[in-house]
């Protein structure tokens, strides 16, 4: 029963997330565009271990900015929230682990207009790592960013500037693309993290969905 329920969540998430990959955005001087940049993130991450279901959930408080560097007003259309949409890409050393992004979707529709200038936002970024029961992030690379996909559409190009987290056996490093800043947030992997409860249940209009972001290792299909 649990496996069927989990599969149902995955199918719902994949349908919502029909992820589209875009080539590098090239902007001309006279063209309208938006910039969405990650400028800071908390450390250490919040975490919660579910031993019964065999996964650990990590949470980061991420500060980001939406900049309209032009003189035009730019209006986006949205059919749900959050917008811009949180995105995650991982490349872990242990290929047997599976990563799912956890987020709440609010079913709202409308338009939002960005005037010239910068808008500052904060977002609680969560993801689950299955088959991992440990208080430290697994070794590997994590890329976090926001864009106008899935819940919204933007009529102009969007430049995204990511936070890249590199986790090695000895250090955890944040790299911010917007200013090329490299920050060693932990000189060692022996860190203590705070326990927390997922706050999603308090929002009756929000639905927790899971996006499958990491495919199973390449040869799993051959072993089944």
Q: What would the pLDDT profile of 35-76 be if each residue is shown by its tens digit?
A: 999 999 999 999 999 999 999 999 999 999 999 999 999 999
Distant-in-sequence, close-in-space partners of 61: CB < 8 Å, separation ≥ 6: 41, 42, 122, 123, 124, 125
Q: Distance between CA atoms of 177 and 144, rounded to whole angstroms?
A: 11
Q: Which two tokens stand for residue 144?
A: 């976090």
- Strands 98-106 and 206-212, bridge-based pairing: antiparallel
What was the pLDDT predicted at 187?
A: 76
Domain ranges in the chain are: 2-17+34-214
In the chain, which residue ranges form alpha helices assigned H by DSSP?
A: 2-17, 220-223
Mean pLDDT of 171-188: 92
Phi first, then psi: what are they for 17, rounded to 5°?
-90, -5
User: Whole-prediction pTM value?
Assistant: 0.73
Instruction: Look at residue 186 in the predicted model and tell me its pLDDT.
Output: 83
Q: How far apart are CA 185 and CA 98, in angstroms?
A: 24
State the average pLDDT over residues 179-205: 56
Q: Is the pLDDT of residue 178 over 90?
A: yes
């Amino acid at each position: 029963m649990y496996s069927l329920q989990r599969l149902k969540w995955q199918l719902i998430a994949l349908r919502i997330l029909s992820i589209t990959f875009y080539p590098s955005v090239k902007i001309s001087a006279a063209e309208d565009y938006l910039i969405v940049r990650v400028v800071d993130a908390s450390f250490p991450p919040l975490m919660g271990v579910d031993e019964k279901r065999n996964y650990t959930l990590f949470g980061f408080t991420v500060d980001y900015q939406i900049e309209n560097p032009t003189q035009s007003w730019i209006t986006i259309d949205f059919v749900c929230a959050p917008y811009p949409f949180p995105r995650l890409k991982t490349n872990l050393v242990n290929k047997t682990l599976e990563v799912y992004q956890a987020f709440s979707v609010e079913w709202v529709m409308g338009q939002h207009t960005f005037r010239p200038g910068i808008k500052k936002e904060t977002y609680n970024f969560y993801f689950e790592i299955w088959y991992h029961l440990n208080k430290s992030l697994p070794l590997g690379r994590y890329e976090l960013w926001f864009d106008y996909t899935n819940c919204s559409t933007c009529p102009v190009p969007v430049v995204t500037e990511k936070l890249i987290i590199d986790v090695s056996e000895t250090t955890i490093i944040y790299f911010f693309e917007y200013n090329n800043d490299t920050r060693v947030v932990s000189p060692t992997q022996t860190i203590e993290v705070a326990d927390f409860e997922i706050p999603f249940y308090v929002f009756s209009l929000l639905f927790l969905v899971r996006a499958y972001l990491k495919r199973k290792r390449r040869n799993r299909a051959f072993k089944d």
